[in-house]
Structure 1
Amino acid sequence: MHVTVCRGCCCGTVKKHPDYDHEEQLRRLEALAVGSGGRVRVRTADCLDACENSNVVVVKPAGGKPVWLGFVLHDAVMDDLEAWLTSGGPLPANLDLNRIVPPAQQA
């Protein structure tokens, strides 16, 4: 699985979300990637153009379509994301609540 974490314009900034530890979020994902033996890869993007849904994380499962997740601003969401990345499989129902429409597909 490839994970892209938005860290530009609004996502990942203390200015927009002062009560969330953005660096810890990235550390958690990078630690998971290191422990995955290469099955999970994490990268950052400057801006994914979905600022109204920050923090945005895009997961591209192997052989699947990218899943765009917004409002990834709570430890419970990160716990669900880590569990999904670890186990693989279909998108869990809990994370489906954070699914957003990619900017390119918005009307």
Structure 2
Amino acid sequence: MTVCRDCCCGSRTKHPTVDHDAQLDGLRAALEPDHRVRTSLCLDVCAQSNVMVVHPGPAARRRGARPVWFGLVADDAVVADLVAWVRAGGPGVAAVPAVLELSVITSPVLTGR
């Protein structure tokens, strides 16, 4: 999983009610060591911050699975749903739950930005 933590994502100014450090610590505690959680610089979808990208595992990737991008991840319930989905296998293994479909965004790579 890649968690954007640059200009808008992770910003107390933009999201003053979100404890961004606790969010990242919680993701790492819930997913590592089985799943890597890393941070990135700006992913270029600032209007959708906080952005997280869930990557498929190697076997799913070989079968054609692609990363799934999530935006507006500022709520603990959405983070918990993401964790559950990743633990269930994530992209290419488990279907995106309907509640998470609401947070799926298009990758800027796919939109040509």
TM-score past 0.5 threshold: yes
After superposition, the CA RMSD in angstroms is 1.2
Q: Which residue of 2 aligns with 1:68?
A: 69
Match of 2:88 in 1: 87
Range with bigger deviation, 54-63 or 88-97: 88-97
Structure 2 residue aligned with 1:10: 8
Q: Tell me which amino acid in the other structure corresponds to 2:47.
A: E
Percentage identity across paired residues of the two chains: 49
Q: Secondary structure at the match of 1:41?
A: coil
TM-score (norm 1): 0.89
Who is 2:19 aligned against? Answer: 21
The offset of 1:50, in angstroms, is 0.6
Runs of 4+ aligned structure 1 residues displaced above 6 Å come to none
Structure 1 alignment gaps of length 5 or more: none
**Structure 2, unaligned runs of 5 or more:** none
CA drift at 1:32 = 1.8
From 94, 98, 110, give the equivalent of 1:105: 110
How far apart, CA to CA, are the structure 2 residues paired with 1:33 and 1:77? Answer: 15
So what's the TM-score if we normalise by structure 2? 0.84
Count how many residue pairs are aligned between Structure 1 and Structure 2.
102
What's the CA shift for 1:61? 1.5
